[in-house]
Structure 1
């Protein structure tokens, strides 16, 4: 199979017979890159085109008369098929000779080379009049008028990034919040759900939540670690942590409910004389 031969066959406009063009395209499928040594049998072309063998032979004769194909080297067929009565006719497509193509391409390259040489000469002349120097890979080869060597901006940073800029944010962190802990949480948020963009405004709101959680007695670092560990996008109080005041209120409510269930709440004048054991039972 030759892409070059098939492309040439498709572009042919010298023959308008659609069936002949179909046979030419199928014949080009068996040619080499130069369009030669195509020797499929008429039966094979009949299968490829869906035509009868007689119609295929007629179209081959038409293509040969039009000069699009010609009989090629039959010795090539003999090298593949021993029996002479079974050898098909070898055809060559009338494609341009490869040497001609190569010569045309070479001439084009030479013209481009001459044009490029002219541009180089113009650039050289301009450089001599202006005194400009050439650069290679960002390095100034010859200083012009005492100019120093050009520096590489990437190797000379103008400033050192602050701690709050480690994760690319301009949000100012409080002194009590470790920058690395907050940076891990920001990286966790940005690497999470890609559908929700983690903006600086959202970061500031979460930082405000962390300030309130710290005021309520929660360790900021533990709050951050808890959200990362459980895959939470927000910041919440530490699970299982209850303040002593809340515990005391819950105990007082439980004792009051137990006292009411045994009737102590209905007789306030007996409170001084009644004692409640550990199981909230009245002891007289």
Structure 2
């Protein structure tokens, strides 16, 4: 997990919604330089709450635009996931834009092509992720979809403070600790995977303009198992509902 790359994506990615959530998840799999991204479609679809087909189309747009680069090499092939990297020029400050149809367009004034000598071979064809299981045979026995180090023991570490280099810098440690303690009290303790899902849910809600602390406090105050969007008052300001005022989508989304 690269908190550094996730922060850049959150600050500069020019589109919201499912495309941004996917971009954040790809950044979550990247090293700090934006490389070594090779999750499976199944995993991305599950963690972004989208269909496999939608994820494939979104990745195709990213690759076609040059924001995401599919790297040719020994890690690609039939039955295996492709390896990707986020365009280093974009990470360095160059911009991309979207047209009226939501397709990513490279900045026409800037050359986003990378030479194979500098960055390795780049496959310019449409970037479909081929492997359904995400298993990578790289000759070293590395497992592509092994749990991220930041998520391992995350549930325990972040209840005390923001674990070093692990959870996002914007995560309010006190509010998270209170939420975790509440889950224990209602006998629904967070598993490590549930903690990961909770962070992803907070990331989505934050991208939609909701304050993570208010979202956590809302669930803690009402002893809710899940995390839900804040309602808006007459002035348009997002606010938490009254105690025990169950959201309409409770039981349908947000439960962890």
Q: TM-score band, normalised by the shorter chain?
A: 0.3 to 0.5
TM-score, normalising length: structure 1: 0.30
Instruction: Report the structure number with the largest CA radius of gyration.
Output: 1
TM-score, normalising length: structure 2: 0.33
Which protein is richer in helix relative to its size?
1
